Amino acid sequence: MSLLTFTALLFVGALLAGLLGALTGLGGGVVLVPLLTLGFHVDIRYAIGVSLISVIATSSGAAAAYVREGFSSVRIGMFLEVATTLGAILGAYLATVVHTQALAIIFGVVLLYSAFLSWQQSRKPVPELTKGSPWSDKLRLSGDYPGQDGKRCKYEVENIPGGFGLMFVAGALSGLLGIGSGAVKVLAMDRIMKVPFKVSTTTSNFMIGVTAAASAGIYLHRGLISPGLAFPVMLGVLSGSLIGARYLVRAHVAVLRVVFTFVILALGVEMIINGVTKWF
Amino acid sequence: MPEEHKGHFDDRTMETVMGRLLQIGVLLASFVMLVGGVLYMRAHQVMPDYRVFEPGSMALRHVGGVVKGVAAGDSAAVIQLAVLLLIATPVARVVFALVAFGIERDKLYIAVSAVVLAVLFLGFLRSQ
């Protein structure tokens, strides 16, 4: 394969990953690493490095649109970023000591879990408003968001230590595997802290960029961000996600989500099998 | 907005500016990335072997080396500059938050933003 063909294929693959990621709200990062390792036979460490910077690009690129909606909470985000950035540094450190095939297997397991979360989320009931923990006001995490009738809906949060702890795990996964781990971040806010779903998803988007930046510097310094891979992948994922965000309203999201869930499931199985057979 | 307390209004303004900041950062990084990519394709014909990991050039692993490379017209250095800009974008957002919370005189969140910023720098410094 010539360099030009390889680069062009990478760009198209990354574009599709970004497009599907944006349309389904699951992010392009989860399919990018399997695409690069299984599809293009790139060493997983290169794949993770390049995925990490694509994650920063998509999260920052989508930020302005998310702000316009008026759901995100800068305080919840900043508070929990303490946990995710610390986790990210631990994850980036762990990436150096973990065997590459083990990385592939862990990645596969995370994919399977993401598929499970995505399946579960599509059938979850609307959570009822709760009286939050007293620390919700003390830490100024309580807030409000625009409701359907134009009034602002107030919310409080609960189980802050639980959310903080899971955010640390989300950060570690991000630093270890080069993914945004948006699904885990939403889980921590939405399920554990009882932050309203829309607030959770938009706030998570902001946190993804900062979390990835915490470990990206370490990856860059280790020489893990390869220029020849970085430019087609980053530009591809970013274009794909921006196109996806634009057509989000018109697409059949429910169908796409099911399809994407199966894609993730299949990739997860493939990553695990591939990791195990190459290791032993 | 009389029925809303002041803090909230300031938070919204802060978030709007943050959104713009991130957008500008990504736009700038993408532009540099595109230029670097075109230069890279013109300079390289042979495909590197990505199947086996081989740490990239030492020179392109820190800011000084990247700047020197860009000055020398090295296409890989231009791409790494785009990567640095990209990494700097969310960091700039945290710096801005620190300033904005300062204007709001929110001591708790000045401290929280400062901790996040410190962790980010810890990551960069540890890797030097």
Rounded Cα distance between A17 and A35, Å, is 9
Answer whether A213 sits within 8 Å of B90, measured CB to CB: yes
Residue of A46, A220, A229 to mutate for B, most B C-beta atoms under 10 A:
A220
* Mean predicted confidence (pLDDT) in B12-19: 83
Whole-number pLDDT of residue B119 = 94
C-alpha to C-alpha distance for A95 and A178, rounded to whole angstroms: 10
Candidate ranges A53-67, A71-85, A106-120, B9-23; pick with highest mean pLDDT: A71-85
HEC profile of A133-179: CCHHHHCCCCEEEECCCCCEEEECCCCHHHHHHHHHHHHHHHHHHCC
Tens of pLDDT, residues A70-127: 888 889 999 999 999 999 999 999 998 999 899 999 999 999 988 888 777 665 555 5
ipTM, interface predicted TM-score of the complex:
0.89
- Chain A, 188 to 247: residues with Cβ < 8 Å from chain B are 206, 209-210, 212-218, 220-232, 234-235, 238
Rounded mean pLDDT, A8-19: 93
Give A252 or A189, the one with higher predicted confidence.
A189
pLDDT of residue B8: 52
**How far does the CA of residue B91 sit from the closest CA of chain A (Å)?**
7
User: Which amino acid type is present at position B89?
Assistant: T
Of A116-120, A210-214, B67-71, the range with the lowest mean pLDDT is A116-120
Q: For A36-40, A93-97, A222-226, A249-253, which range has the lowest pLDDT when averaged over its residues?
A: A249-253
By C-alpha distance, the chain A residue nearest B128 is: A221
Q: Is A151 on the interface with B (CB under 8 A)?
A: no
Nearest of A8, A138, A148 to residue A75 by alpha carbon:
A138
Q: Is the four-CA dihedral B57, B59, B63, B69 of positive or negative sign?
A: negative
Quick check: A26 pLDDT over 80? no
A8 burial class (0-12, 13-18, 19+ CB within 10 angstroms)?
Answer: middle
| Residue ranges covered by each domain of chain B | 28-44+54-126
Nearest CA in chain B to A49: B83
State how far residue A254 is from chain B, nearest Cα, in angstroms.
28
CA distances in angstroms from A260 to A16, A37, A264, A277, listed in the order given: 12, 18, 6, 26
Cβ of B45 within 8 Å of Cβ of A3? The answer is: yes
- Would you say residue B21 has pLDDT above 70? yes
pLDDT of residue B32: 97
Instruction: Please name the member of A63, A85, A221 whose beta carbon is closest to the beta carbon of B119.
Output: A85
Among A247, A250, A206, CA closest to A71: A206
> Which is higher by pLDDT, A30 or A7?
A7
List A residues 5-24 in contact with B (Cβ-Cβ < 8 A): 6-7
CB B47 within 8 A of CB A2: yes
Q: Inter-chain contact A67–B18, Cβ cutoff 8 Å? A: yes
Question: What's the pLDDT score for residue B5?
Answer: 46
Out of A46, A65, A210, closest to residue B93 by CB? A210
Q: Which residues of A touch B41 (CB under 8 A)?
A: 3-4, 7
Ranked by mean pLDDT, the top range of A101-110, A136-145, B60-69 is A101-110
What is residue B3's predicted lDDT score, i.e. its pLDDT? 40
- Closest among A249, A236, A235, A108 to A177, alpha carbons compared: A108
| pLDDT at residue A21 in the model | 81
- Domain, as residue range, for A246: 3-279
B111 neighbourhood in chain A, CB within 8 Å: none
Nearest Cα residue in chain A from B84:
A217
What integer pLDDT is reported at residue A249 of this predicted model? 60
Q: Would you state the pLDDT for residue A239?
A: 93
Closest-CA distance, A28 to chain B, in angstroms, reads: 17
Between residues B106 and A121, the one the model is more confident about? B106
Of A6-20, A56-70, A116-130, A163-177, the poorest mean pLDDT is in A116-130
Residues of B (42-71) whose Cβ lies below 8 Å from A: 44-48, 50-53, 55-58, 60-62
Nearest CA in chain A to B11: A74
The pLDDT assigned to A162 comes to 94
Lowest mean pLDDT among A56-60, A63-67, B56-60, B117-121: B56-60
Q: Can you give the pLDDT at residue A67?
A: 77
Measured CA to CA, the distance from residue A56 to residue A215 in angstroms comes to 11
Q: What is the mean pLDDT of chain B?
A: 85
Phi, psi of A154 (to 5 degrees): -90, 150
Average pLDDT, stretch A154-178? 93
- Which of the two residues, B44 and A151, has the higher pLDDT score? B44
Chain B closest-CA separation from residue A67 CA (Å):
6
% of chain A exceeding 70 in pLDDT: 94
Instruction: Identify the CA nearest to A207 among candidates A72, A32, A112.
Output: A72
Question: A40, A4 in Cβ contact below 8 A?
Answer: no
Average pLDDT value for chain A: 87
B57 interaction partners in chain A (CB closer than 8 Å): 223
What mean pLDDT comes out for the span A127-145?
78
Q: Do A75 and B11 touch (CB under 8 A)?
A: yes
Number of domains in chain A: 1
Instruction: Place B2 in a pLDDT band, splitting at 50, 70 and 90.
Output: very low
Residue B60: pLDDT band with limits 50, 70, 90 = confident
Give how far A56 is from chain B: nearest CA, Å: 7
Which chain B residue is nearest to residue A78, measuring alpha carbons?
A: B113
- The identity of residue B13, as a single letter, is T
HEC assignment per residue over chain B: CCCCCHHHHHHHHHHHHHHHHHHHHHHHHHHHHHHHHHHHHHHCCCCCCCCCCCCCCHHHHCHHHHHHHHHCCCHHHHHHHHHHHHHHHHHHHHHHHHHHHHHHCCHHHHHHHHHHHHHHHHHHHHCC
